[in-house]
């Protein structure tokens, strides 16, 4: 799978760890930075880069890492067509894709360790949208909200 990955300075070390991990698992990784933790970087920039890679078709899924995962998640979800969530357990990492069509996994580089991150990423990338009528109906309602139909 083609996976875009990006981080701010607080997520740099986790991103640096996950890039070769994903490559060893056979994924094509698009590393959108940052490439150091020595310079402060803003999580919205990482979110925009990863989201745009998905929207442009350069990546099928994305992984965003900031200190807590929260800021990156909020920023990513402002982009139409991006469905991001934090996951700290494998059930949520997979179920977010299977039921909710999540396309970006957000991780807290200061929250989860590398072993946990590996299992979360594997669950996320191994999951597929179930496509059952109830999940499609719910996802369509989410897209209606996204398009401004808040009624």
Q: Looking at the annotation, which residues are catalytic? A: 66, 99
Tokens of residue 124, six digits: 């996320």
**Residue bearing tokens 């990492």:** 93
Tokens of residue 2, six digits: 């083609």
Q: Give which of 127, 136, 135 is closest to 90, Cα–Cα.
A: 127
What gap in Å lies between CA 132 and CA 123, rounded to an integer? 20
Do 128 and 93 contact (CB within 8 A), yes or no?
no
> 3-class SS at 17?
helix
């Amino acid at each position: 799978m083609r996976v875009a990955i990006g981080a701010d300075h607080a997520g740099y070390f986790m991103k640096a760890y996950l890039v070769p991990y994903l490559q060893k698992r056979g994924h094509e990784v698009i590393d959108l930075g940052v490439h150091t933790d020595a310079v402060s970087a803003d999580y919205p920039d990482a979110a925009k880069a990863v989201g745009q890679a998905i929207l442009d078709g350069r990546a099928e899924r994305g992984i965003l890492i900031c200190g807590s995962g929260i800021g990156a998640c909020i920023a990513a979800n402002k982009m139409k067509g991006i469905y991001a969530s934090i996951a700290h357990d494998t059930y949520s990492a997979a179920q977010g894709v299977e039921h909710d069509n999540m396309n970006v996994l957000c991780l807290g580089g200061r929250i989860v360790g590398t072993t946990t991150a590996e299992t979360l990423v594997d669950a996320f990338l191994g999951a597929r949208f179930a496509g059952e009528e109830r999940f499609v109906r719910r996802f369509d309602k989410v897209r209606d909200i996204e398009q401004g139909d808040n009624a």
